[in-house]
Amino acid sequence: MWPLVQTAHAMSPQGLGGDPAGMLSGFLPLILVFAIFWFLVIRPQQKRTKEHRALVGNLKKGDEVYTDGGIRGTIQRGAEQDVTLEIAPKVSIRIQRARIADLVKEGKARETKEVKEPKEVKADKDAAEDEKA
């Protein structure tokens, strides 16, 4: 009566579970795509996010920064969530800390720290200046 049903039943895989190695080979391309996606997209984004959090957390008064809108300014005051940027003489704006995209240069407070040179290097420089004169 139903000749095709017997043929379809005869062509089905053995049992309901199938071959475990066959199942793994079916998922292998999906696993490889996920691994490639992880190393090319997700991991670098996590690294950039971590670096940006460190940048925003270390901002000080006097630092010159770019906002994500392209505005360049100098930090005048900072609070926990926002900072005040001076973008022109006597022109200040208040923005969220997270909207700061990049540090242009560190503030004057950080630049005043001088590195002490060893006495030998300093003596060599003084001798070189004496030879020029």
**Residue 83 bridge partners (DSSP):** 78, 95
Residue 90 backbone class (left: φ over 0; alpha: ψ -120 to 50; beta: rest): left
pLDDT in tens, 108-131: 644 434 444 455 555 555 665 666
Provide the token pair at 68. 């994500």
* Angle at the Cα of 16 from the Cα atoms of 14 and 19, rounded to 5 degrees: 60
pLDDT in tens, 17-75: 556 667 778 888 899 999 999 999 999 999 999 999 999 999 999 999 999 999 999 99
β-strand 100-105 against 82-88: which pairing, if any?
unpaired
Q: Number of H helices and number of E strands within the chain?
A: 5, 5
Predicted TM-score of the model (pTM): 0.56
Burial of 52 (0-12, 13-18, 19+ CB in 10 A): middle
The fold for domain 59-109 equals SH3 type barrels. (2.30.30)
